[in-house]
Amino acid sequence: MSKGPLLGLLIGFLTFGQSAIAQHAALHITPLKSGVTVSLRGIAVRNSQVAWATGSDGTVIRTTDAGRNWQRIHIPDADELDFRDVELLASQTVLLMSVGNGNASRIFRSHDNGKTWKTVLVNLDPKGFFDGLTFDSAGKNGVLFGDPIDGRMDLYRSGDAGATWQRVAAGQCPILQKGEYGFAASGTGVVMSGKNIWIATGGTVARVHHSADDGKTWIAHVTPIRSGNESSGIFSIAIADSKTAVVVGGDYLRPKLDQNNVARSLDGGKTWITLPAAGMPHKACVQSLGGNKFVTCGRTGVAFSNDNGKTWTSLTTDSYYTLAVDRRTGTGFLAGAGGHIARFE
C-alpha cells in the first residue's frame, strides 16, 4: 500500500511529564556531531567504538571512535533511497534496508565492511513495502517483513547471513486485518530469539504476531496500544527474555496523546498490560538494556525504565527516532531528524 504520509517525519513536540522511577536512571546521554542533516532512522552498534546510522537521501554514516567522528559511506545507485534499517553481522558483514513502494524497497549487503556493496533483494511487487529486518544471535538466520499483499504479511527469509533471500509462501504468512500493517519507523518492529519471532503491527489494530516454531505457524495477540487509523499502532518491540517484552508506539500525528502508547508483557507476548495512568507520549523505538532495564525514544524525547517497563522517567526531551545498544558494554547510540545523533552509557 502507499505510505506517502508515513514516510514523513514524526511531528509534534512536547515536554514529557512522568512520575519518577524508584531509582535514579544511571544513563548519561552525550550529543554528537554526525556531519549530516538528513533524517536518520536506522542505527546499529557493533561495540562501544563502532556504530552505523542510516537515513534519507541514501545516507549511511559510520563511526569507529565512539562517535567523535563520522564517515560517510557511499552506496552505489542509492542516492534517492531512504535507508530505515541497518544490521551488523559478522565482523565485516553489513546489511542495509531501504523502504518505499515497490522496487524502492531493497536490501544491500557488504561483506567487506562497506568497501563494496551488492543488491541482494529488490521488492518486485508494486504492492510491496519493506518495514524491518532482523537476525538471530548467530547472525545467520534472518527475517524481513513488509506491508500486507492480498491480506497477508509479506515475509522473506535468509539462512546465509543475508547473502540470499527467499520469499515466504503466502499461505505461511500471518493474515492481517484490513488496514493493518507495520511501521518502517526505526527498524525495530521485528525480533528473533531462537525459534521465536515477534512482529509488531499497527493501523486499524495494534497486534504482536508471534511464531514459536521459526515461522511455520503464527498466533496474533491484540495489545492495548493506541490504534484505529493509519498513523497509529505499535512502532517498536523489544524482548528482554523468554517472558518479558515491551512495545511502544501511539499516533505519530497526535504525539501529545499520552495514554496507551506503551505496554508490556510478562508471558512472552501473549497478553499485554498498558500503563495504569497517563504519562508516556508517542515513541518510535524501544530496546532492552538487559536485566530489567529498557530505554525508549521518539520525537517526544528519551525515557528509561528499570522495572521491566512498569514505570518510566524522562531523560531528555531532545528528539530521536531510533536507538541501538551494545549490551556487553552498556553503550548505545541514538539518531533522529536533521542528523541528530548522540551516545549514551
The one-letter amino acid code at 24 reads H
Least confident of 101-115, 269-283, 292-306: 269-283
Domain-embedded: residue 281: yes
Domain that holds residue 85: 9-344
C-alpha to C-alpha distance for 54 and 42, rounded to whole angstroms: 5
Q: Is the pLDDT of residue 18 over 60?
A: no
> Per-residue confidence at 27, pLDDT binned at 50, 70, 90?
confident
Mean pLDDT (the chain) is 91
The tally of CA atoms less than 13 A away on the side-chain side of residue 336 is 24
Burial class (CB in 10 A: 0-12, 13-18, 19+), 212: middle
Residue 246: per-residue pLDDT:
97
Residue 276: per-residue pLDDT:
65
Segment 110-151, tens digit of pLDDT = 999 999 999 999 999 999 999 999 999 999 999 999 999 999
Region 146-171: mean pLDDT is: 97
Domain-embedded: residue 72: yes
CA distances from 241 to 221, 270, 292 (A): 18, 14, 10
Region 139-167: mean pLDDT is: 97
* 0.95 exceeded by pTM: no
Domain-embedded: residue 4: no
CATH assignment of the domain containing 70: 2.130.10.10
Domain-embedded: residue 110: yes
> Per-residue confidence at 12, pLDDT binned at 50, 70, 90?
very low
Region 3-29: mean pLDDT is: 43
Helix (H, G, I), strand (E, B) or coil at 206: coil
The number of domains in the chain is 1
User: Nearest Cα to 343, choosing from 34, 9, 21?
Assistant: 34
Domain-embedded: residue 331: yes
Region 62-77: mean pLDDT is: 97
Region 245-264: mean pLDDT is: 95
Domain-embedded: residue 3: no
C-alpha to C-alpha distance for 214 and 217, rounded to whole angstroms: 8
Domain-embedded: residue 259: yes
Domain-embedded: residue 39: yes
